[in-house]
Structure 1
């Protein structure tokens, strides 16, 4: 079996109800991500946590040094787990993630986190393009409602559309229960 790593993307306070970018069904995603994190810990897999940070005004989302950049306690890393800051949706861009995975001999990645339509999408596509086997745990990801040209798209539809697009060619998209074999 190929060596696998878990990438936990941006499960941060900014996405909670009191944050600047609250996501729908975040509690469910965090609870499922925690189950995946616990299983990866039990299996001795490499776990890489990401924290999005944005330089600039303290009023902006993910402003460096604010509570919004902190990782949600239920998904927080433990001693020995890698935490990387990122400044772009793609967790591979300017972070050293690829070198870290390659140095560890990782062939497959599992991705959980936020937001389905941004960082999960960008990171999944990059992982695929770099040649990793990619699994996205759909119910361990969350997003928000969007709108375009007057069309309102509910969060559930945004999430489903992005999971379907990723499953079409870039990743195996599974539930937490399917991943864990429950």
Structure 2
């Protein structure tokens, strides 16, 4: 009996999530895509290589192509490190450039930020409000830093958020001398930010979103 109730609950939550995603897709006129920090330093040979960066970027590219095909707003977030002691995303370096897989086109908005939260000391909020944006589809890197902080801030500003989970990436972390693998970090942070029925964000994968 407990198994039946549990399975019914899981199915119900899954259906609710899919319905929410489909509803967002039907209301794309006030939806924008955020691509956060998909920059060369996160890729092989870069100063801060992530686990699965190229795979995540290819998923972000698929979502980007969907938005371009449907003439929907795209915002590229580019981090430039200005803090003392920074070792990656340094201004005027190749590593700080947006990766070619999701390179902006001329008409697409580029936001330069210096903090994990893409809204902090940038014109992102004003830009989204000027376009009447209410829903955000979020991709990028790192899942547990800039993606998470931007998503939580977006929720506080009243946006409905959908993270494309397989279009995000992170790296191994250290906790009290023990390594927490990137895959575990990824799952944990996506699970946390989508808790309470997707309070801060719903989670989808690229294939389900664009089909």
Bin the TM-score by the shorter chain. Answer: over 0.9
Higher share of residues assigned helix: 2
Q: In structure 2, how many angstroms separate the alpha carbons of the residues matched to 1:59 and 1:8?
A: 22
Q: In structure 1, how many angstroms separate the alpha carbons of the residues matched to 2:84 and 2:40?
A: 17
Post-superposition offset of 1:55:
2.0
Question: Looking at CA atoms only, which structure, 1 or 2, has the larger radius of gyration?
Answer: 2
- Cα-Cα RMSD: 1.4
Q: In the alignment, what sits opposite 1:34?
A: 61
Report the secondary structure of 1:61's partner residue: coil
Post-superposition offset of 1:166:
1.1
Q: Which moved more, 1:51-60 or 1:64-73?
A: 51-60
Q: In structure 2, how many angstroms separate the alpha carbons of the residues matched to 1:59 and 1:159?
A: 24
Q: In the alignment, what sits opposite 1:95?
A: 122
Report the secondary structure of 1:125's partner residue: helix
1:99-148 CA-to-partner distances (Å, cap 9, x unmatched) read 00000000100000100010000011011111101000000001000011
Equivalent residue pairs, number: 181
Report the secondary structure of 2:194's partner residue: helix
Q: In the alignment, what sits opposite 1:51?
A: 78
Post-superposition offset of 1:56:
5.9
Q: TM-score, normalised by structure 2?
A: 0.83
Q: In structure 2, how many angstroms separate the alpha carbons of the residues matched to 1:136 and 1:126?
A: 14
Q: In the alignment, what sits opposite 1:64?
A: 91
Report the secondary structure of 1:112's partner residue: strand
Q: In the alignment, what sits opposite 1:24?
A: 51
Matched, 1:162 2:193: no
